[in-house]
């Protein structure tokens, strides 16, 4: 009898365990929870918060104690609703830091106008101290952009500061790596007219990274209606590796279609009314190439070249206007060679580009693209020696124009350096 009772109890316990396991499995299935621990690489992303810290004191109240006399918190215009003070675990080690942006006049320094940022850390005694501070000496009107965001995809944040210098002077975007040792480091600086947006987008490799849609600075554009030049200044960028030694903002070609599709429709509608506006034709053709519509681009370029030539033939313009027409004539032909290359018309591209290159005398930003396209066309016909020659000339022209290591140099030399990496095995053979 005792044996039977024991067996009954044991069977009830087994049934209980089975039922418990079934219930837990159902709950996990319904809620989508994962009971497995995350991989090591997933444990380090920083955490952002504007809440009170571990001591219970508000982060803004702590930061206020460290403001220079005569200064106050600086609230960025963009992104919308961004705060001047942010509490963040920079290194993902569970230890929170406080980042504060400020502006004002230093009472103790002749009331000089100042803009700056500081980071507070807690020491072993839990006392807050300024770990790092960066102050601007330039005359600054406003904080156009202020954001802490991981743009490199390594799980650690960067600090993005866009300082407005003045209406005609544009703004300056400074990017700081916050985890550099022994202290944060300025890793990129670029002048711009407007940041359209910085938003997460999925790339070719399904990685989600921030994309910068930004108009670069050009002092001649503030009073200009040249839509073609404005289209050239719009850059779609992401943070990436330019070569083994350089990192910076680089062209994000794989997401061009997201940003330029609407432009195509808008320009087509506009050109139905303003057919002779060759600048709008340039915007359209450029967008079509960026969206992979190469045959459509060739049609647009042919229409545009006819319009430009008709204006030149009238001979009723002053020298500046004629120079502008001739410049756009070259630009359309350069665009045409891009379409040729994508369509496999390599010899047509080489012939056109050699004629274009003979028209330049000295340094010119257009030559960066001319030499790049020549290099790419020679890759298409397996002439890797010539390809290497012109790709290096493209990179060297970018260095002459913008200075090696600058943000503009990295943006403009990146396409040539990417192609040089591609042909390296063929060159070695």
Spans of the chain, pLDDT less than 70: 1-56, 107-109, 138, 223-224, 244, 316-320, 429
* The CATH number, out of the four listed (3.40.47.10, 1.25.40.10, 3.30.365.10, 2.70.50.60), of the domain defined by the range 255-428: 1.25.40.10
Tokens 């009898």, residue located: 1
The answer, as to whether pTM is greater than 0.85, is no
374-394: pLDDT as tens digits: 999 999 999 999 999 999 999
Gap between the Cα atoms of 87 and 122, Å rounded: 12
Q: What is the pLDDT of residue 315?
A: 72
| Fold (CATH) for 43-191 | Lipocalin (2.40.128)
Q: What is the pLDDT of residue 328?
A: 94
Q: Residues of 368-405 as b/e, b for ≥16 C-beta within 10 angstroms?
A: bbbbbbbbbbbbbeeebebbbebbebbbbbbbebbeee
Comparing CA positions, the residue from 306, 364, 372 lying closest to residue 337 is 372
Q: How many CB atoms lie under 10 A from the CB of residue 29? A: 9
Q: What is the pLDDT of residue 203?
A: 80
Q: What is the pLDDT of residue 7?
A: 38
Comparing CA positions, the residue from 384, 397, 392, 428 lying closest to residue 243 is 392
Gap between the Cα atoms of 411 and 402, Å rounded: 10
Q: What is the pLDDT of residue 217?
A: 93
User: For the chain, what are the domain ranges?
Assistant: 43-191, 255-428
- How many angstroms separate the Cα of 352 from the Cα of each of 366, 389, 391, 394? 14, 18, 17, 17
């Amino acid at each position: 009898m005792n044996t039977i009772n024991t067996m009954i109890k044991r069977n009830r316990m087994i049934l209980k365990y089975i039922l418990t396991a079934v219930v837990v499995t159902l709950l996990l299935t319904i809620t989508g929870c994962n009971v497995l621990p995350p991989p090591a690489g997933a444990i380090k992303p920083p955490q952002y918060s504007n809440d009170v810290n571990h001591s219970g004191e508000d982060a803004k109240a702590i930061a206020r104690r460290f403001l220079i006399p005569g200064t106050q918190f600086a609230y960025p215009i963009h992104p919308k609703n961004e705060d001047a003070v942010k509490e963040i675990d920079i290194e993902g080690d569970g230890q929170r830091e406080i980042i504060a942006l400020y502006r004002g006049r230093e009472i103790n320094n002749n009331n000089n106008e100042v803009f700056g940022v500081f980071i507070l850390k807690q020491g072993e005694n839990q006392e807050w101290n300024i770990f790092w501070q960066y102050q601007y000496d330039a005359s600054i009107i406003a904080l156009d952009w202020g954001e802490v965001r991981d743009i490199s995809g390594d799980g650690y944040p960067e600090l993005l500061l866009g300082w407005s210098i003045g209406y005609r002077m544009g703004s300056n975007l400074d990017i700081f790596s916050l985890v550099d040792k022994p202290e944060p480091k300025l890793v990129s600086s670029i002048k711009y007219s407007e940041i359209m947006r910085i938003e997460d987008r999925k790339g070719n490799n399904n990685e989600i990274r921030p994309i910068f849609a930004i108009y670069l600075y050009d002092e001649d554009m503030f009073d200009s209606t040249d839509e073609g030049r404005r289209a050239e200044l719009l850059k779609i960028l992401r943070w990436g590796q330019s070569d083994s030694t350089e990192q910076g903002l680089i062209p994000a070609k794989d997401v061009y279609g997201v940003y330029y599709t609407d432009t195509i429709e808008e320009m087509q509608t506009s050109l139905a009314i303003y057919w002779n506006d060759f600048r709008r034709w340039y915007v359209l053709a450029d967008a079509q190439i960026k969206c992979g519509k190469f045959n459509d681009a060739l049609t647009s370029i042919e229409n545009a070249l006819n319009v430009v030539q008709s204006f030149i033939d009238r001979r009723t313009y002053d020298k500046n206007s004629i120079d502008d027409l001739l410049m756009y004539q070259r630009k359309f032909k350069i665009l045409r060679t891009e379409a040729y290359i994508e369509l496999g018309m390599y010899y047509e591209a080489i012939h056109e580009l050699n004629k274009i290159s003979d028209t330049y005398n000295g340094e010119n930003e257009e030559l960066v693209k001319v030499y790049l396209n020549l290099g790419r066309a020679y890759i298409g016909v397996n002439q890797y020696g010539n390809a290497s020659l012109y790709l290096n000339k493209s990179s060297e022209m970018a260095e002459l124009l913008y200075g090696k290591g600058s943000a503009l140099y990295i943006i403009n030399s990146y396409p040539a350096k990417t192609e040089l990496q591609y042909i390296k095995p063929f060159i070695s053979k």
